[in-house]
Chains A and B, each alone.
Chain A
Amino acid sequence: MLRLLNLELQKLLLNRTSKTLIFVSFILPFFVILLSSLKINVFGFFTLELGELGIFNFPIIWHLTTFFASQFKFFFAIVVVSMIGNEYSNKTIKQNLIDGLSKKEFILSKFYAIVFFSLISTVIIGLISFCIGLYYSSYNEASIIFSEIEFLFAYLVKLIGFFSLCLFLGMLVKRSAFALAFLFIIFIAEWIVFGLISWQSDVAFASKIQNVFPLKSMYNLIEQPFQRIAMSKFPNKGELIYDYAVHLHELAIVIGWTALFVFLSFRLLKNRDL
C-alpha cells in the first residue's frame, strides 16, 4: 500500500502544475479561513471582524469551515483528472503495466493518493477550526466543542467521493479537459432530471430522487451554513428551519457511490486494450 502511494506521490509532486494545484486546493482555504478570522480594518472606515458575528462559535464553526473549504475541492479535481489524462497522453499507463504494475494496483495507487490528500485536508481543516474556535468561541466545554464534529468526517467522505467520481471520469474519457466538461454535464443532468420528475409528479418526490444522485448526495453531506447562521440570529422565523445535519444514510449513499466509481474505473481499465 505504501509502495503504491509513494509511486503516485512521486508522479504528482514532481509535476509543477499538480504541485501548485494541490497547494491551492488544500493550503489556500486554510489561509483564507485564517485571514477571515483576523480583524480587518477596511480603509480606516470601519473594522470588519467576522469573529464578532459568532460564526466561529463551536459547534457552528465545524459546519462553516468544512463547507467553505470544500468549495476549493475543484482545484484538486483538476489534479485528479489530469493525473489520469497525463498517463494516457504520455502512454505511461501502458509502460507502468508493462513494468509489472497490475491494473488493480494502478487504480489503487490513484485511489490511495486521493484518500491521502483528502485525509491531509481534513486534518488541516480540523486543526485550524479547532484553533480559531478556541480563540473566538464563547463556549469552551468539551461536550460543545466536539459536538457536530461529524462534519469533519462528512468532509472527508465528501472529498473522497467527489475525487473518485473525477477518477472515474478521467478513466472514462482519458482527456482531462473532457472529464471536467463531463463533470459539469453531470451537474446539469442532475438538475434536468430533477426538473423532469418534478414536472411529471411533484417536487418533494423529485428531490427525494435527486438526493441519491452523485453530486447532489455529496452536497447534501454539508449543506450551506448561511441559513443556519441566519437561523441563529432570528430564532423565531420558522421558515428558515432546514435540515443541515449529517445523516448516516447520506454518508452511506456517498460511500456507495465512491465504491462504485472505483470499481467501475477498474472494470474500464481491465476491459480496455491499451
Chain B
Amino acid sequence: MDTILSINNLTKKFGYLTAVKNLSFTIKKGNVYGILGPNGSGKSTTLGIVLNVVNKTEGDFHWFEGNTSTHDALKKVGAIIERPNFYPYMTAEQNLKLVCRIKDVPFSKIHEKLEIVGLLERKDSKFQTYSLGMKQRLAIASALLNDPEILILDEPTNGLDPQGIHQIREIIKQIAAKGTTILLASHLLDEVEKVCSHVVVLRKGVKLYSGRVDEMISSHGFFELKSNKKEELIALLESHPSFGNIKVADQLVTAFLNEPIKSEDFNQYLFSQGIILTHLVQRKESLEEQFLQLTDNNQN
C-alpha cells in the first residue's frame, strides 16, 4: 500500500514546553485515521508541522515517499486547521478562486465542490455573512478543490450546533466512501469512532498507541447483567475463572472477561446455577472507555 505521509521522531519545543515528543507514525493510502488526544496533547502542532506552518525542532517527515518538496506536496493535500480562514470581504466563490490560483486548479472545480457541501445557492454571499457551520463547510469545499489524495481535518466540528456537526460528519463519510484518505484530529471520541479505521493516540506530545481502532486494547469485552438474585450472581461471578474485574452500579453488574465466552453459553451456565437474568448485554469497550483506560494506564 502507498505511503502518503511518514513522520519520524518528530519533536517540537516551544521554549521549555515540549509540545510533540519523538513522534513517529505513517499514513497509508485509503484509510481513515484519527488523531486522538486531550486538549493540548500536540495534535494541532503535529499537523502544523507537516503542513509547513510550524517549524519542527528535531526529526523529519516525508510526503508521498519523499519524492516531492513539502510545498508541492501540499498541492495534493486538502487541509483545514481549527477555524475556517478566509477573506471576509470576498464571496465564497471569490475565496475559492483564490485557492484555485494557489493550488493551480481550474476554476471549473468550484461549482462541483460547492455542490458537495450544499453552498451553491450562497456562492455569491460574502464570507463574513456566513454562519459558523457554513464557514466550516466552505472550508471543506476549499480543501477538496484539488481532489486531494489526503484530507486533513483538525477539529472540524468544533463549536458547531448538533445539526452542523451532523452535516459535517455526513460530508466526511461521503468523502471517505469515495476512497479519499482522511486524517481527522479530534478530542471527540465518538466522532473518531464513527468514521475512523485507525487511530493515533497522543498525550502530552507522546504517542500512546497507533494502529487499528478495534485493536487498541487487547480485551475480550464485558457483560452487563441484571438479575433479581443480585448477591448470588456477584458471588458466582467472583468465583468464576473467566471473569476479572466486577463492577456494581445500582442494579447493573458489569463483569469484565479474562477470556472469550459466548453469551449463550454464559446464559445457559447461569440458568443451570439457578440464576435467571433480566438483562444481558455483551459488548466491547467503546473508544471512549478504551481511550480513558489507555491514558490512565500511562498516567504514572
CB 8 Å contact bits of B78-119 with A (1 = contact, 0 = none): 010101011111100010011101111000000000000000
Measured CB to CB, the closest approach of chain A to B275, in angstroms, equals 60
Contact of A10 among B51, B86, B98, B142 (CB under 8 A): B98
A15 within 8 A of B: yes
Interface residues of B (CB under 8 A from A): 14, 48, 51-55, 71-72, 74-75, 77, 79, 81, 83, 85-90, 94, 97-99, 101-104, 142
Interface centre among A6, A102, A270, by most chain B C-beta atoms within 10 angstroms, is: A102
Q: How large is the interface on A (under 10, 10 to 19, 20 to 34, 35 or more residues)?
A: 20 to 34
Identify 19 new A-B residue pairs, CB closer than 8 A, beyond the known A16-B89, A274-B54. A3-B104, A7-B98, A10-B94, A14-B87, A14-B89, A14-B94, A86-B87, A91-B83, A94-B81, A97-B52, A98-B52, A98-B81, A99-B103, A99-B142, A100-B71, A101-B71, A105-B71, A273-B14, A274-B48
A233 within 8 A of B: no
Q: In the complex, A97 Cα to B55 Cα: how many Å?
A: 13
Q: In the complex, A270 Cα to B97 Cα: how many Å?
A: 26
A sample of 23 inter-chain contacts (CB < 8 A) reads: A6-B101, A10-B97, A11-B87, A14-B89, A14-B90, A15-B89, A91-B83, A91-B85, A92-B85, A94-B53, A98-B53, A98-B74, A99-B79, A100-B74, A100-B77, A100-B102, A101-B71, A103-B52, A105-B71, A273-B48, A273-B53, A274-B48, A274-B53
Q: In the complex, A215 Cα to B74 Cα: how many Å?
A: 39
**B55–A271 touching, CB < 8 Å:** yes
**A273–B55 touching, CB < 8 Å:** yes
A95 within 8 A of B: yes
Q: In the complex, A90 Cα to B90 Cα: how many Å?
A: 12
Q: Which of A216-274 contact B (CB under 8 A)?
A: 270-274
Measured CB to CB, the closest approach of chain A to B94, in angstroms, equals 6
With a CB–CB cut-off of 8 A, which chain A residues contact B142?
99
Which residue of A has the minimal Cβ distance to B104?
A: A3
With a CB–CB cut-off of 8 A, which chain A residues contact B103?
99-100
**B101–A7 touching, CB < 8 Å:** yes
Q: In the complex, A90 Cα to B89 Cα: how many Å?
A: 11
Measured CB to CB, the closest approach of chain A to B154, in angstroms, equals 10
Q: In the complex, A68 Cα to B234 Cα: how many Å?
A: 95
Which residue of A has the minimal Cβ distance to B12?
A: A273
With a CB–CB cut-off of 8 A, which chain A residues contact B72?
100
Q: In the complex, A6 Cα to B89 Cα: how many Å?
A: 17
**A95–B74 touching, CB < 8 Å:** no
**B102–A99 touching, CB < 8 Å:** yes
A96 within 8 A of B: yes
